[in-house]
Amino acid sequence: MIPSIRRRLEQVAERFEEVTGLLADASTQADQDLFRSLGREYAQLEPVVRCYRGFVALEGDIRSAEAMLDDPEMAELARETAGQAREQQAALEPELQRLLLPRDPHDERNVYLEVRAGTGGAEAALFAGDLLRMYLRYAETRGWRSEIVSASPGEHGGYKEVVAQISGQGVYARLKFEAGTHRVQRVPETEAQGRIHTSACTVAILPEAESVDAVEISPTDLRIDTYRSSGAGGQHVNKTESAIRITHLPTGIVVECQDERSQHKNRARAMALLQARLLSIAQEKQVSEQAASRKLQVGSGDRSERIRTYNFPQNRLTDHRINLTLYQLDEVMEGNLDPVIDPLIREHQAEQLVALAGASA
């Protein structure tokens, strides 16, 4: 093992012991914010320390076995024991390196999923609806919760723009790779001559802001309008101006929420969405400055870059960031996204490992 990685693991183990002691302290338990923060840190450090302790224990097994090599009666067993321990160590070392990779602090966040129709008119709006359905089905398979926050229907179906909130364990960790431009190639239902059309949608994945990092918003920077909800809902939607539209004047960002019947609830949800968008702008600026030269713009939210093509006639999906091609587009559109997301995660981790090895050299 590289000495610098060994030193880093020892530092992690020391910090783990420190955090364990702090969590047991009565003064820490009395401060709920500090207790939650340390609890999250404990959960992140524990797998690393558990794996490292196993690695160190194997070193002890190897030393004990080597000490018996001079005993003719025990030499064969000692060599076998030492060999097995070295094999186990060799398997643990890459796992330890993976566990040391820097964690995205937003990985456990809930997200706002935004899908917008781009070039392609009515066909783009229909594809936006298909993408939303794909993500909602994927969320269902992972046991996540999802709600539509706002929607602007297309004239012939689908959506010009739709925003959904997705909540659950590790949502951002899985969906952050979906940010970007998604291109579709297929024959529209309205195409009489069977010609393939190309359309596009943009997808944004915004981690939900927590109170500790929420962007401060001055009330004087906001214009808040109320209006009547549209869509299904019976007579209620025609009587009550419960829908909320908030305009953030410095940036021009506009958020809407009409899902709830209560104006108060719609306002709270619209403010939460505005917080997430402003936080995303700040994060994207920081990430783009740090990763301008990286080939794989994972998590950068560069929506101008085409990240994926969905070719329906060939049942083919291509992710252009890692040259991944799958001939199971029908399954992906039904929500089976893991065969697409897992290779992206592996590629991202491989790049991090290269950077870690370079920094430790």
Give residue 229's pLDDT.
Answer: 67
Q: State the alpha helices, DSSP H only, in the chain.
A: 3-24, 26-30, 32-67, 75-100, 122-141, 171-175, 236-239, 263-290, 329-333, 338-360
Number of H helices, E strands in the chain: 10, 11
Give residue 70's pLDDT.
Answer: 81
Give residue 310's pLDDT.
Answer: 96
Give residue 285's pLDDT.
Answer: 67
Please list the rounded mean pLDDT of every run of 10 residues in the chain (361 residues): 76 88 87 85 87 88 87 86 88 81 82 90 92 97 93 90 93 92 86 81 85 67 79 48 84 82 80 83 62 37 67 95 94 96 88 67 52
Give residue 300's pLDDT.
Answer: 37
Residue with tokens 């029908």: 330
Residue with tokens 């950077």: 355
What gap in Å lies between CA 309 and CA 257, rounded to an integer? 31
Question: SS3 of 191, please?
Answer: coil
Give residue 353's pLDDT.
Answer: 72
